[in-house]
Chain A
Amino acid sequence: MRENGYLSGSNLERVLRAGRFAVTGELGPPQSADGSVIREKAALLQGACDAVNITDNQTAIVRMSSIGAGTIVVQEGLEPVIQMTCRDRNRLAIQSDLLGAYALGMRNVLALSGDHQTFGNHPAAKNVHDIDSVQLVQVIADMRDKGVFQCGEAFKGQEPRFFVGAAAAPFAHPLDFRPYRLAKKVNAGANFIQTQLIYDIEAFKGYMEKVRKLGLHEKVYILAGVGPLKSPAMARYMRDNVPGMLIPDAIMERMSAAGAPWAGKEELSKEDKKARSQAWREEGIKITIELIQQLRAIEGVAGVHIMAIEWEEAVRPIVEGAGLLPRPVLEPAA
């Protein structure tokens, strides 16, 4: 730890260390080399989040690199959380990219295994998986705390000092092992955790109870994942196709009910469809706000991670609705 007491001094770390309920967002880079897309999305998230995750070829679809996009985000005055998957890089590439990211001003990293490449637009690609996400957490923490590369050699000069994050999927299988896998990530050196999307509060309470029994909530900041639903169809798709995604019937019904005024009509005009979509989205935002309020009441939840996939406009109203604005402005770490 540095003299100022911070591991990385990132805004996210400072907010969490100050005991404030943290808010992170997500910014998906474009499938192009157009930096203006990043600037537009950054403007939507500015002031609404303490830091924003920059996805790393999410769902194995080639996009602008997380560090490239993160550089633009830094320029825009927003703090990025660089997502780093083990799918596309070996330990050499991961470490050198992280050195570059640190030099470019990035201070948070989220270590992930990465979605399998067969899901994406280059299914014929060779994957890497030289190290896994738990080992990646350890590599990044050791760079900072021990000042060494993965091979054990010491840095010749400034070591990268990142606030190290990892993901948790509370409802993936085997369910009983999930709190222990979280423990492994904490033991490996994770400082914060962002969870898969949570819609089932009761199930998540059960998970958090086990997490607390292991004392993990005192060793790591847990940010619960939330995300606004856009339509009943999206909710059904996620519930039925995304591993470990629990969406209770009550939420499914609320989404359907939001579109009820248009349900009986035989043919919907363009305006009708627009109005229905609007109603669904409003309900999605409302549900998310309520979820945040419920999550906030769970002991050990240190913040929320809002994943508004290709819907960055939704983040500010959600954060505002949840009573989490304005975001704290803390003195930079010395």
Chain B
Amino acid sequence: MIVAEAKPLDEIKRLVADAEKILVVGCGTCVTVCFAGGAREAAVTASMLRMAGRLEGIERQVTDVTVQRQCDWEYVDPIADQVAAVDLVLSLGCGVGVQALVERFPDAWVVPGLNTKFMGVTLEQGVWAERCAGCGDCLLGLTGGICPIARCSKQLLNGPCGGSIDGHCEISAETPCAWQLIYDRLAGKGKLDALLEVQPPKDWRPARHGGPRQIVRDDLRLNEAEVGQPAEQEA
């Protein structure tokens, strides 16, 4: 899932400073699971903004609503009226959610309430860790299912570097060395031979370095007739 974290209240206050009517929009998917931008966080944020406004002598109308997924039109369309009724939308979605609201409601002013951090797992309650960098060309099949792009501080394809010690990375004792993990995993499966081959330089084009990415699946796209008005087709 996408893991995010709330922005500091002071920063949110600055982002909403000019607004009198604010709609806080939570998202019911990834950011709910990581306790950053679900219904509860949206309600708490709205309450905090109301109180913060009152302490500054500003009577703000702050309401909140949470949609199942901010990144899908079908879920954001139903809040169109609420969005139209406010000066500012504070999105507690990930960066995708914020931009989906901007695209769907171009007249609205939408600001982010979260910092989107990474794609990762919940290791334990309150602890999340990055697992995928979305490089667009998955190499987990080579590395025993442990990603050096997301988890090695230097994104080495022929690791580990000389900074690997006692299972952790040179950058901190709290950061596991991805290549130690890869080594242990392959050793355990009797597949260490896979590490002897020199991996060539990676093609980073699928990884965003070839420009913003988009996927077009012609097998799934609707044809022109299907996109048109069904009523007209019938007529």
Bound CA–CA A291/B156 (angstroms):
33
With A116-B153, A130-B204, A135-B158: A172-B164 Cβ-Cβ less than 8 Å: yes
In this complex, how many residues of chain A approach chain B with their Cβ under 8 Å: the count is 36
Give chain A interface residues in 95-110, CB to chain B under 8 Å. none
Mark each residue of chain B from 154 to 173: 1 if its CB lies under 8 Å from any CB of chain A, else 0: 11111111111111001100
CA distance A169 to B198 in the complex (A): 18
Q: Does A132 contact B (CB under 8 A)?
A: yes
Interface residue B118 (Cβ < 8 Å from any Cβ of A) = no
A171: shortest Cβ distance to chain B, in Å?
9
CA distance A139 to B198 in the complex (A): 12
Q: Does A270 contact B (CB under 8 A)?
A: no
**Residue B201 is within 8 A (CB to CB) of chain A in the complex:** yes
Say yes or no for B111: interface residue by CB 8 A criterion: no
Contact B196 A183 (CB under 8 A): yes
A243 contacts across to B, CB distance below 8 A: 162-165, 170
Determine whether the beta carbon of A86 is less than 8 Å from that of B154: yes
Q: Which residues of B contact A91 (CB under 8 A)?
A: 201
A11 to chain B, nearest CB (A): 27
Complex interface: chain A residues within 8 A of B201 (CB) = 91, 130-131, 135, 139, 150
- A129 and B195 contact, Cβ closer than 8 Å, known pairs A196-B162, A243-B162: no
**Docked-complex contact A135 and B200, CB < 8 angstroms:** yes
The A/B interface has a contact count, at CB < 8 Å, of 94
Contact of A129 with B156 in the complex, beta carbons under 8 Å: yes
A134 to B165, CA, bound (A): 20
Of the residues A138, A150, A172, A183, contact of B165 by C-beta under 8 Å: A172
Contact size class for B?
Answer: 20 to 34
Q: A87-B154, A132-B154 are in contact. Are A184 and B160 (CB under 8 A)?
A: no
B-side interface mostly: loop
Closest-by-CB residue of A relative to B167 is A173
Q: Are A172 and B196 in contact (CB under 8 A)?
A: no
A188 to B200, CA, bound (A): 10
Choose the segment among B62-70, B98-106, B121-129, B176-184 that binds chain A (4+ C-beta atoms closer than 8 Å): B176-184
Whether A135 touches B157, Cβ cut-off 8 Å, given contacts A174-B184, A177-B195, is yes
A180 within 8 Å of B (CB atoms): yes
Residues of A within 8 Å of B156, CB to CB, are 113, 129, 132-133
Within 8 A of A (CB), among B56-87: none
Give the residue among A139, A177, A183, A184 with the most B Cβ atoms within 10 A. A177
Interface centre among B159, B165, B167 (most CB of A within 10 A): B165
B200 to chain A, nearest CB (A): 7
Q: Is A277 an interface residue (CB 8 A)?
A: no
The residue from B163, B171, B204 contacting A172, defined by CB atoms under 8 A apart = B163
When the two chains form their complex, are residues A113 and B198 in contact, meaning their CB atoms are under 8 A apart?
no
A135 B160 Cβ-Cβ under 8 A: no
Identify B162's interface contact among A130, A172, A184, A188, CB under 8 A. Answer: A172
Q: How far is the CA of A109 from the CA of B175 in the complex (A)?
A: 31
CA–CA, A233 to B153, complex, Å? 29
- Whether the pair A113, B196 counts as a contact (CB closer than 8 A) is no
Complex contact A132–B159 (CB within 8 A) = yes
A56 CB → nearest B CB, Å = 15
Interface string of A212-227 (1 = CB under 8 A from B): 0000000000000000
Known: A91-B201, A132-B159, A184-B196. A173 touches B164 (CB 8 A): yes
Contact with B along A112-134 (1 / 0, CB 8 A): 01111011000000010111111
Q: Give chain A residues whose Cβ lies under 8 Å from the Cβ of B165.
A: 172-173, 243-244
Given contacts A113-B154, A180-B195, contact A174 B162 (CB under 8 A): no
Q: Contact: A116 with B154, CB < 8 Å?
A: yes
By a CB distance below 8 angstroms, the chain A residues around B204 are 130
Decide if A278 is an interface residue (CB 8 Å cutoff).
no
- Contact between A129 and B166, CB atoms less than 8 A apart: no
Closest to A169 in B: B162
Q: Which of A60-95 contact B (CB under 8 A)?
A: 86-87, 91
A167 close to B (CB within 8 Å): yes
Residue interface mask A165-209, B partner, CB < 8 A = 1: 001110011100100110110011000000010000000000000
Q: Give me 18 A-to-B residue pairs in the complex whose CB atoms sit less than 8 angstroms apart, sorted by A's number.
A: A114-B154, A115-B163, A119-B170, A129-B154, A130-B204, A132-B161, A135-B158, A135-B198, A135-B200, A139-B201, A172-B160, A174-B164, A174-B183, A177-B160, A184-B158, A243-B163, A243-B164, A244-B162
